[in-house]
Structure 1
């Protein structure tokens, strides 16, 4: 009898220990708001929108302790539209992230699956659009530098280092999964460094797209590229940038620069799949370039109330003398109702100058994420949103 009780007790202890070595977490974020736009396709618009600042999502994150500081990890993250319940990311079940890998306390992590690139991992947190203080609608025109993660990468292998006294780095390679190894692939690398109140970051991203097959008849449900979505009809995209943040008391100020160079555009257009606009700007040459300079600041007025703002100047060279200049301003006030729930008021303004395309037609502002036909018929566009977020 005593042996039986002892075995039962030890079994319970070992079961508890085994259970403690593994964990699975259900998490998510729901963002919904009312947006007023002064000119959208020639008319004012009032919309109930999902993911105005941060995309609505839910996910599963897990880890199993393998011993010796080694863990098996995974993340499955779904994106959805809270306004109508539909799936995001071209109707994928786990369109935001889906990966599995190994993480070492000493050497870092290697993960495989659908993942973010290094520009998103390291540089985006220093920007306004890559945080909760600006988000989707505050993205640089067309999210040309992917700081708002409009695209993610299929078939990707990624390495992320541990923190070496404030220094972190990583790299990603996304396979074409075809015999055309060098075509329809992507790779990136980046790093960040914390030095007291200063944080520095830099990143590089390159996409090689098969414009012949990938973009012929492409749509939101069948985009045809390695990433599963695309922002530009271009055979090659190179994006790089760097930035710095400085924290002083309750305030953080930042400055960053990014550049995106496109080649093999073949007279392509801005994509309606990710920018949420009509494909109204044609490239006048076989190449194009976007340069973005952003200054941002956020200030915790009280533990519950935060004010944030950013200004971005974007210089675009689209060929044939088409060189529009975009001036984008984002302002936000955010109030915490609890640790998990907040409400916000956000205003966004964009002005376009030198705004004639190769056909002599005006190029209107296109604030990111407002939906199809969102281009303004004037040189200015204003969007004001009142919304709330809940995290779980």
Structure 2
């Protein structure tokens, strides 16, 4: 009898051990699952409102005027890149000319992904704004609450977006002192953060006291995107922007994977420009795209569902007001603000031989995109097309 009781007690103890072990294992799995990034990211949506269809007469008139400008701006087929003008999402004019690679005689076409340089900032800002809109972060949140090693306690996400942080340009503080960085090594976004945290890289000025355009701001914003989404920047951009908008020819450049296959860039005399130690940095640059993909992106940014009205109004507000003038900067967008009340929104870019111009005439529903992989300032002259569509009083001093 005693033997039976002892056996029962042993069985009961063993059962409790097994159940307890299962409960611990279940709890462990639940904790692991909780730590995995869930697909709850805010996503861009295509413009869902029905836009007025353009008449054939309107298209013909505008097309002729744009073609005249094109031939004057890039005479004798001298352009080397992509160009598009659209209204209400409908393409009025597009042109693809020159070579993605001169040696291979590979022509540029509508699917050729070109480096959009600092126009990448608009896209990085868009991902940040979607995270703000979804209450994943706040505009006035201190950066060091997201990136713990960030050494400047007064810098906010907003002052990164509008270039009022006071940080120094990473291209300068990594270039001039070998004790800070050896240019034989490829620099990464994390390297920039680590250097600022450990090498006593002082600020250029007190945060939010003035405007100073600085690529470091957007390299740090890319790290914030990674920290909040728990995804590499490339994957986060795919999930938040590129895939939802079917931007099939747009990607974030990966130095190791893409350095030998991405479209080559050239000096104005067609001499090839190689990669350097700064070519792995993303957020401020290093997105490749096409005018057609950027048109999808622009129309989505002009959708009523893009952001809440309150947040949208902050995006297009001018922040660099220390010195009176027409040129200004919002949250990831450049602007010209005339005293008449007319506003012109755009962003230009330049990296190596790549130049880019993104223009969004929000009131008129017009998108103008110009990209080139052979260095030329003529890319920026496409702003002269704005008066074709609205009251944009450009003068020589504004160019």
Whether TM exceeds 0.5 here: the answer is no
TM-score (norm 2): 0.27
TM-score (norm 1): 0.27
- Structure that is richer in helix per residue: 2
Higher relative contact order (CA 8 A, sep 6+): 2
